[in-house]
Structure 1
Amino acid sequence: MNASAINLQQTQVPAARLPLVEGIRHEEMRRRVCAPGEHLYRNGQPFRAVMVVETGSFKVCDLTEDGRERVTAFKLRGDCLGVESIDLARYACDAVALEPSSCWEISYAALLRAAAQTPGVQADLNAALAREIRNGASWMMALATLAADSRVAAFLLDMWHRCGSAGCVTAHFALRMSRMDMASFLGLKHETISRSLAHLVERRYIRVCRRDVDVLDPGGLTQCASMSVS
């Protein structure tokens, strides 16, 4: 992809381990299980901990000035939640489970102690913060420069590669988010998402059945994801 499209390699997390969790004492973290639609935390709640996704997936969202929900990120296994609020007294957004999901909650105080004592924990924390910055910048560039079909293609490639880093090695993956959530994240209308998916199917780049996606032509999909607005 060119510089205007999302950098897929920057979004991947090694599947063999969960960052941060390995360096924290068991008594200083807890495992949380969420049902679909359940909030992990809400905007305005006191910030006390960061979370590392173990299974499932979450969406991160906030509210626009007119009260509409805006999705800002999707988090999969190995991704960190709550790092966007580290310098704040309260969480700056909502985190909601998209499916039956689990995560490890690490108190921020314990994380700071472990980072000071264990170089590996500090490196994991730095990497999580760096990924947050890179991903935000990459998607900001993509949404500013890519046409609708290219945004959807870039999103599908990103999710495919991230699912692959989480242990799926086939060309098949499932979109756990709704079309409305995709539209919100990509800055498009719901019907535009449906049209763009239909265009990608017509070009034989992908096959779609409800939320299941098969990548048929990775090269063609990648080329489509690189086409900026003319």
Structure 2
Amino acid sequence: MAQGRRNLILLACALLCGQLFAADAEPIKFRLLSTSNSISVLYDEDGETRRIYTSPGYFSDWLIAPPSREVTLYQEVPSPDGQGAKLKKILAQTKLPNGPGPFLIMVHQQPGTGKLLTSTLNHSLDTFPKGQYRLVNLSKRRMAVNLADKNMLLEPGKTEMASYPNGRKTWLKVAVNDKDSGWIKVVSKPRPVQDTTRTSIVIMDIPPSDADPDPIGIIVREAREQIYETPEGVATIQ
């Protein structure tokens, strides 16, 4: 009997400690970055509906993920009879990876459907520090990239880092591995350098069209974040 009572006490203590730890744990944060066009979606955070805005080159505000880490983005649409409450139209659902984060969810709107394709990255300063470029290849093709005097070969879906150079400007040069013509230079542009920032660069295919069903060119999206220090000397993402 005494042993059973002790086991119950230990179990109660373990549950209480777990609850206290969960209460003190830092919330899991994420933000969105559109790689297509300007996007406005809804997201439920702690019982409150928030409207989120993002566009190419501009991040959304920081958001808090639920304990399940499952993120649902949606729009509200009228009910079929036009009389009842509005209905949720799910645009994207994704689950954040393990780890403390924060995370970046890149969203790309599918033409004609409004649905969002998503790709998630660890967006912490430990993984992606100040003074760095992070290149993301969302193309279906291999990319040869020269940035800040660093040569990189990016496979589809892969990322690569490059440190800012010492000057105020650097060049981004990209060549695509075309199946018929081999390596073709498709981008050669200067990029400004700001020491107190980090820069995300996303490489994508140009969508096919009737006039060009198999385009060779690419689209390059770039978004920059300011990194500042708190009075305590802790680096923080704006």
**TM bucket, shorter chain:** under 0.3
TM-score w.r.t. length of structure 1: 0.25
The structure carrying a bigger helix percent of its residues is 1
**Relative contact order higher in (CA < 8 Å, ≥ 6 apart):** 1
Instruction: Name the one with the larger strand percent.
Output: 2
TM-score w.r.t. length of structure 2: 0.24
Q: Which structure has the larger Rg over C-alpha atoms? A: 2
